[in-house]
Amino acid sequence: MPVFAKGYGGPAVARQHVDASGGGGPGAIEKRVTMRRPNTLAAALVLAAVVSPHGQSGKNFKARLSPVPVDIAMMANIAGSGSATAVLANDKLTITGTFDGLKSPATIAQVHKSPVAGVRGPVVSDLEVTGTTTGTIKGTVTLTPLQIADLEKHRLYIQIHSEKAPEGNLWGWFFEAKK
C-alpha cells in the first residue's frame, strides 16, 4: 500500500513496502519513487506579480504636510496639517492624501520639484483637491525617468494653496515608506 509524503515546492516521495515476492509484509524492504510536481506556490507568486498593478515596481512613499515657512504678515493666514501616500508603479505615481485645519478654503494642490528637500521648486503636475478647510487630495502623475530619480532622492513634494495663502499653505516631501 503506497504512502505519500507531501512537500512544499519539492518533489513528492511515494514509499511502498515490498518483500521479495512483491507483496507487503514482515520482511519488506522500502522502495522509494520520486515524482515531480509543479511548484504551485512559485507559480502563484509569479502570476500575482504579473497581474498586480504594483508587481512590476510598486514602491510606496509618504509625505507629512505641514505649514510652509511664513513671515509675520502671513502668520495669521497659514495653518493646518495633513498626510499623503503615493505608490509608484512603473512610471505612474498615484497620490492620495488628507488635510485639515486650514484658515481658508483650499484652492489647488500640486506636485513640485525642488533642488533639495525644504526648498521651493517649480510645478510638476496638478492634483485634484476637494473640500474647504478640511479635505482630500488625489491624482495620478506620469513621471519621466529623471522625475522618478528626483522622487527617490526626496526632491518631489506636494503643496496645497488656499484662498488666504495663494503662494502655498501646506507642503510635504515624499520619502520612501518603511516596511
* pLDDT at residue 54, rounded to an integer: 39
Same domain, 44 and 65: no
Same domain, 11 and 68: no
Secondary structure letter of residue 71 according to DSSP? -
Same domain, 143 and 66: yes
State how far the Cα of 163 lies from the Cα of 78, in Å rounded to an integer: 10
State how far the Cα of 114 lies from the Cα of 155, in Å rounded to an integer: 5
* pLDDT at residue 99, rounded to an integer: 98
3-class DSSP state for residue 42? helix
Nearest alpha carbon to residue 61 among 179, 143, 174, 170: 174
Same domain, 168 and 111: yes
* pLDDT at residue 131, rounded to an integer: 86
State how far the Cα of 5 lies from the Cα of 12, in Å rounded to an integer: 6
Same domain, 47 and 119: no
State how far the Cα of 28 lies from the Cα of 99, in Å rounded to an integer: 75
Please report, for residues 43, 121, 132, 155, the alpha-carbon distance to residue 173 in angstroms, rounded to integers and kept in the order given: 38, 12, 22, 7
What DSSP element (H or E) covers 146? helix 145-152
pTM over 0.85: no
Domain count across the chain: 2
Which residue range forms the structural domain that includes residue 30?
A: 3-51
Please report, for residues 26, 54, 115, 147, 170, the alpha-carbon distance to residue 108 in angstroms, rounded to integers and kept in the order given: 84, 28, 22, 21, 11
The per-residue b/e assignment along 80-95, b for 16 or more CB within 10 angstroms, e otherwise, is bebebebbbbeeebeb
Same domain, 68 and 43: no
Tens place of pLDDT per residue across the chain (179 aa): 444 444 444 444 444 444 455 555 555 444 444 444 444 334 333 334 434 443 445 899 999 999 999 999 899 999 999 999 999 999 999 999 999 999 999 999 999 999 998 999 999 999 999 989 999 999 999 999 999 999 999 999 999 999 999 999 999 999 999 87
Same domain, 92 and 157: yes
* pLDDT at residue 178, rounded to an integer: 83
Same domain, 38 and 86: no
Same domain, 69 and 122: yes
State how far the Cα of 111 lies from the Cα of 144, in Å rounded to an integer: 14
* pLDDT at residue 26, rounded to an integer: 55
Same domain, 37 and 125: no
The per-residue b/e assignment along 43-61, b for 16 or more CB within 10 angstroms, e otherwise, is eeeeeeeeeeeeeeeeeeb
Same domain, 155 and 129: yes
Q: What is the CATH number of the domain that holds 116?
A: 2.60.40.200
Same domain, 137 and 101: yes
